[in-house]
Amino acid sequence: MSIFEKAFEKAGKDSGKDQMDDLLDDSMDDLLDMPESLAADDADPATMTAEDPAGAGQGAVHPAAVVDGLPSTGPGKVVKLDLSGLRDAGLVDPNSNKVNRTTEEFRRIKRPLLVNVRGEGASVVPNANMIMVTSALSGEGKTFTSINLAMSIAMEMDRTVLLVDADVAKPDVTARLGVQAEKGLIDVLLDDGITLPDVLLRTDIPKLTLLPSGSRHVHSTELLASERMRQLTLELSSRYPDRIVLFDSPPLLLTSEARVLAGLMGQVVMVVEESMTPQHAVKEAADMLQDNEIVGLVLNKGRHATSSDNYGGYGGYGGYGGYGYGSYGR
């Protein structure tokens, strides 16, 4: 059974809605194998326990402050994050010397993505440094995953990360980080007089920069599908060779923006909540990504951990059961 098949089976294990025969069709057969070195890392995962403190998964942290005295190189305003509050919320802290299970799990999750960015995968992936994190439905943990993945990538020696709050209808990244921002992505798309440096927020994590969602707009889908957005993503992906651009997108089945964004991405990470997301929802969302060469799957909130199970994960919110990636419709 492939990594995706195992994840699909677990994702809907308790839903009682569909059988695997109805869920998986021929488009799921052409999956990429993980590189041997990565597969070995997942061959015998430890049973992990991580807890999201009550309410912390919803991002209750203290507001960040705009501060002086931080490095002034690069564009944008500088904000200081409340790292203590973020740690309490169960998020990865790039500045911490303490190794915890969340940190280790996201090291495993980011590795195949970075392999593709370096061009060391089974095939060369265009725009591999443009990565979208999404889910089928809301509440599956995609924003929590986006932030933790960005924090983990910021720990890399030779990479920087730009985290884009692209869930423009329901932005949550900056709120969870305790950052207040009035302008952002949508404003850049709307107004030729607003440039990226005007809205970027550099953080006191040296390799992490934020791009807020900005103003809400009734035509956000059309703005994301515009030529200006295409040019913007080209600029984001090519200006700095060491940059990873991570988009926290809307859920695939609830808005049209996510599918538009997927067309601009080199890699997609789809978060699935174990035993809660119906299999038919996972299948429908996956079908929307058939044009994307690399689609990763993160099984979140795993409760069925065994030492021999590639999806052995944590108990509690923020627990990750595993990561696999493949090719749809190829």
* Domains: count for the chain: 1
Q: Residue 305 has what pLDDT?
A: 42
Q: Which of 63-77, 165-179, 264-278, 281-295 has the lowest mean pLDDT?
A: 63-77
Predicted local confidence at residue 328, as pLDDT: 38
Interacting residues of 133 by C-beta distance below 8 A, sequence separation 6+: 142, 145, 146, 149, 246, 247, 248, 249, 268, 269, 271
pLDDT at 101: 86
**Lowest model confidence (mean pLDDT) among 72-86, 202-216, 251-265, 267-281:** 72-86
Give the per-residue SS3 of the chain.
CCHHHHHHHHHCCCCCCCCHHHHCCHHHCCCCCCCHHHHHHHCCCCCCCCCCCCCHHHCCCCCCEECCCCCCCCCCEEEECCHHHHHHCCCCCCCCCCCCHHHHHHHHHHHHHHHHHCCCCCCCCCCCCEEEEEECCCCCCHHHHHHHHHHHHCCCCCCEEEEEECCCCCCCHHHHCCCCCCCCHHHHHHCCCCCHHHHCEEECCCCEEEECCCCCCCCHHHHHCCHHHHHHHHHHHHCCCCEEEEEECCCCCCCCHHHHHHCCCCEEEEEEECCCCCHHHHHHHHHCCCCCCEEEEEEECCCCCCCCCCCCCCCCCCCEEEEEEECCCC
User: Which span out of 169-178, 298-307, 318-327 was modeled with the highest average pLDDT?
Assistant: 169-178
Residues 6+ apart with CB under 8 A from 151: 91, 92, 93, 94, 106, 205, 208
Record the tokens describing residue 255, joined without a space: 């808005």
pLDDT for 229-258, tens place per residue? 999 999 998 888 899 999 999 999 998 889
Both tokens of residue 45?
């995962």
Residue type, 227: E
Q: What is the mean pLDDT of residues 198-221?
A: 93
Can you give the residue range of the structural domain that contains 100? 3-326
Length of the chain: 330
Segment among 16-20, 132-136, 168-172, 289-293 with least mean pLDDT: 16-20
pLDDT value for 77: 82
Select from 46, 169, 66, 51 the least CA-distant residue to 108: 46
Given CA atoms 255, 264, 274, 319 in this order, what sign does their dihedral have? negative
Residue 29 has pLDDT above 60, yes or no: no
- Which residue, among 197, 163, 159, 205, has the nearest Cα to 64 in the 3D structure? 205
The 10 Å CB-count burial string (b at 16+, else e) for 83-97 is bebbbebbbbbbeee
pLDDT tens track for 194-208: 999 999 999 999 899
Most confident stretch, 1-10, 11-20, 274-283: 274-283
Three-state helix/strand/coil letters over 97-116: CCCCHHHHHHHHHHHHHHHH
112: domain CATH number is 3.40.50.300
Specify the pLDDT at position 312.
Answer: 29
Indicate the range of 4-8, 34-38, 81-85, 208-212 predicted with least confidence: 34-38
